Amino acid sequence: MMKKIETSIDTLKKDIKEFYDYKKWHFLTLNGVALEDDMLEIQWIFSEYEVKNKIVVYYAHIKYDELIPSIVEIIPSAIISQREIVDMFGVEVEGSQKGLYLDEDSQQKPLSGCSI
Amino acid sequence: MKKTINIPIGSQHIALLEPVRFKFECENEKIVGVDSDVGFVHRGIEKACTTKFKYDAIGYVVARVCGLCAITHSMTYTASIEKLIGGEITQKAKYLRILLLELDRIHSHMLCLSHTCENAGFEAMFMRIMGDREDIMEIQELITGNRVQFDYISIGGVNRDIDAALAKKILSKLELVRQKVLGYMDEFTNNWSLSLKFKGVGILTLDDAYRFNAIGPLARASGVQADVRNEIDYLPYNEIGFKMQKHTEGDINARNLIRLNELLNSIEMCNNILEGLPEGEIFTKLRGKPNGESVVRFEAPRGELMYYVKANGSAMLERVRIKTPTFSSIPAFSHIFTGANYADAPAILASFDPCLSCTAK
Amino acid sequence: MLTSFFKALANLFKTPKTIDYPLTPIAKDEKYRGVIEYNQDECIYCLKCEKACPPGAILFVPVDNPPINEKNKKGLKYHYNPHLCIYCSECVRACPKPQEALWQSNKKGHIGIKDDKINDDWFELEELKK
């Protein structure tokens, strides 16, 4: 079943590094959910190989102007989800630039609560 | 002086069927760097799901994300809504859902194999597989009433029943296809242009498959035991003879063989379902509105598909996140390209079976 | 080498897989999903189909001379747009009188690729609805 673990952007890298064993855990994706009061929930979703229905979600509540740390050194395949989050929510993720779906200089942030 | 040259492949290219652009940085014949651009067909479906449509219509909206794995998309979305409402569907509906999912896998894998042949320059084989794929399309049309957009799965069950005469017809067609797939096995293992040429090209090692979170046939060809059908329990896959296919080489040939073996396994599963289909209703009316959040995964033909749905008890959902198989394989794709010959790039790309309308949903 | 020669020779006399389309019609199953058909005498104007339709291809709009039906108290008229319809038959499943008032035929809808401004009338109806 789905297990949610709270983390913060300061302790995220440490938490994920301790948790992530690349032969046991499969990194699914990075997800963002727009919350009320200009807050954003960022989720890092994992599942376990060969175990039924085991999903672990790390989440952190952040403001739109905060810098999200990158976990690419720990999980290389996170790069593509990080770029999507940058495009869709207009947030900043360490080392990921805009331009996967949108134009590089686009001001839009389609999925954020305060879209223009 | 700069030593490397940049050669793009796509977004329109004769050997490439999908609107994707790869920018290869080449040093002589070798690719040393890859940059990809996948956003050519972005349609904003995630946004539409939370602003334009009510939760009971979204099953039909997300089916339009992709034409090939339409049924997996609506299946995954429906499963997540059923989880949030908390209803149970009948056993017969579950079996019919698996039947359609597996038929979908068969025709999608056949499409991929035919494109692999085309990229190897084997046009006749391409035509042959595409012609045989027509049988599967006909079965799907007989069951659902349409060739491409099935609209078969709705919240609470499935939309159409199959009777004994239809089941018999499907079984005879599946047997024909099975014979043909055995013929392809022969071609793909013995024909020089489809087997030897592909051996040792586009290798993804086991360690890299884990490290880059490879999924689907790509991962299983490298030896990772990653099949979502093995990791879920809301569809009774273990009852109908599901066997995980695995190879260790991780090259294009291994991926082809994985797909061929999966074809045989899927046909066997379809036969088992049709022979032992239980009696009962195909639809249960589920009452209530979805509330809460759920993550549901499924094995699409290209790998793992994930839906995250957040609802607040009203008819409009708060968030629908679609993670498609090709999207999360892109880091693994880029890794395989690095170090390969530029001339192999179209063949390697075809062996990934990329689906860009899924990726840019 | 010899087998491939015989195979090639045999292929020359095989019938092609494709059909000569405009001359030979495509075989159509009787359960093929086609346009939705409607009988206004049987309709009870519960508007369930309008609510159930995912793309909104069914509209009941008030008109000046509505169809004569004792259930039709608000003076509504049924409108259907086959170009918007996705043929999912959610409306038929929602209908209290399926097969009598509303049913799915196996007829192919009109293909509107070459028509000009095909949905303009429909957009006017949608404006009326608001």
State pLDDT tens for residues B213-224.
888 888 888 888
**What domain range is C45 assigned to?**
32-111+118-129
- What's the pLDDT score for residue A20? 83
- Token output for C61: 């709009």
* Mean pLDDT value across chain C: 81
Q: Give A116's pLDDT tier (boundaries 50, 70, 90).
A: very low
Chain B hits for C89, CB-CB cut-off 8 Å, are 151, 159
- In-domain check, residue C106: yes
How many Cβ atoms from other residues are within 10 Å of residue A38's Cβ?
Answer: 12
Q: Name the most confidently modeled range: B53-62, B232-241, B257-266, C38-47.
A: B257-266
In a domain, C50, yes or no: yes
Of residues A34, A47, A52, nearest to B233 (C-beta): A52
Question: Of C32, C52, C93, which is closest to B145 when you measure between CB atoms?
Answer: C32
| pLDDT recorded at residue C47 | 82
Predicted confidence at residue B152, as pLDDT, reads 85
The answer to whether residue C57 sits within a structural domain is yes
Buried b (16+ CB within 10 A) or exposed e, B66-105: bebbbbbbbbbbbbbbbbbbebebbebbbbbbbbbbbbbb
Residue C20 lies in a domain: no
Instruction: Please report, rounded to a whole number, the percentage of residues in chain C having pLDDT higher than 90.
Output: 0
Total tally of structural domains belonging to chain A: 1
Q: Please state, rounded to an integer, the average pLDDT across all residues of chain A.
A: 80
For chain A, percent helix, then strand, then coil, each to nearest 5? 15, 35, 50
Most confident of the following: B29-43, B93-107, C35-49: B93-107
The answer to whether position C3 is within a domain reads no
Interval C92-104 mean pLDDT: 84
Give the residue, C45 or C67, on which the prediction is more confident: C45
Q: pLDDT-derived band of residue A88, with 50, 70 and 90 as boundaries? A: confident
Structure tokens at B9: 């492949």
- Residue type (1 letter), A6: E
Does residue A54 fall inside a structural domain?
yes
pLDDT of B14 higher than 80: no
Flag the least confident range among B13-17, B25-29, B144-148, B212-216: B13-17
Asked if B149's CB is within 8 angstroms of C89's CB, the reply is no
> H or E stretch including B111?
helix B91-119
**B132 has a pLDDT exceeding 60:** yes
CATH number for the domain that contains residue C106: 3.30.70.3270
- Predicted ipTM of the assembly: 0.86
- The encoded tokens of residue B78 equal 């429906």
Question: How confident is the model over B322-351, as a mean pLDDT?
Answer: 83
Per-residue pLDDT tens over the stretch B251-276 = 888 888 888 898 899 898 888 888 88
Strands (E), chain B: 5-9, 21-27, 30-37, 153-154, 157-158, 291-300, 303-312, 317-323
Helix axes B325-337, A78-89, angle to 10 degrees: 130
Q: Which two tokens stand for residue B181?
A: 């797939």
**Shortest CA distance from B234: residue in chain A:** A53
Nearest CB to B146: which of C54, C87, C90?
A: C87
Task: Tell how far CA B38 is from the center of its chain.
Answer: 18
**Mean predicted confidence (pLDDT) in B14-20:** 74
Domain count, chain C: 1
- Look up residue B198 and give its two tokens: 């592909």
Query: Does a structural domain hold residue C67?
Result: yes
Residue C64 has pLDDT above 60, yes or no: yes
> Which residues, 6 or more positions from B223, have their beta carbon under 8 angstroms from its beta carbon?
B206, B209, B246, B247, B248, B250
In order of their start, the domains of chain B are 53-327 (1.10.645.10)
Q: Does B319 contact A50 at a Cβ distance shorter than 8 Å?
A: no
Look at A50 and B47 and tell me if their CB atoms are within 8 Å. Answer: no
Q: Name the residue range of residue A42's domain.
A: 2-93
Yes or no, beta carbons of C33 and B146 under 8 Å apart: yes
The percentage of chain A sitting over the pLDDT mark of 90, rounded to a whole number, equals 0
Q: What is the pLDDT of residue A93?
A: 81
Mean predicted confidence (pLDDT) in B97-119: 87
pLDDT tens readout for residues B188-220: 888 777 777 778 787 888 888 888 888 888 888
- Least confident among A98-102, B218-222, B233-237, C121-125: A98-102
Lowest mean pLDDT among A42-46, B125-129, B278-282, B319-323: B278-282
Residue at A82 is within a domain = yes
Task: Test C88 with B60 for CB contact under 8 angstroms.
Answer: yes
In the prediction, which pLDDT does A114 show? Answer: 56
Average pLDDT over every residue of C75-102: 84
Q: Which residues of chain B neighbour C29 with C-beta distances below 8 Å?
A: 141-142, 145
Interface of B with A (CB under 8 A): 37-39, 42, 44, 46-47, 210-213, 215, 224-226, 230-233, 293-295, 297, 304, 306, 308, 310, 318-319, 321, 323, 327-328, 330-332, 335, 360
Give the CATH number for residue A67.
3.30.460.80
Asked whether residue A99 is domain-assigned, the answer is no
Q: Cβ separation of A110 and B319 shorter than 8 Å?
A: no
**Which residue shows structure tokens 């509209």?**
C59
| Confidence (pLDDT) at B1 | 62
d(CA A48, CA A38): 33
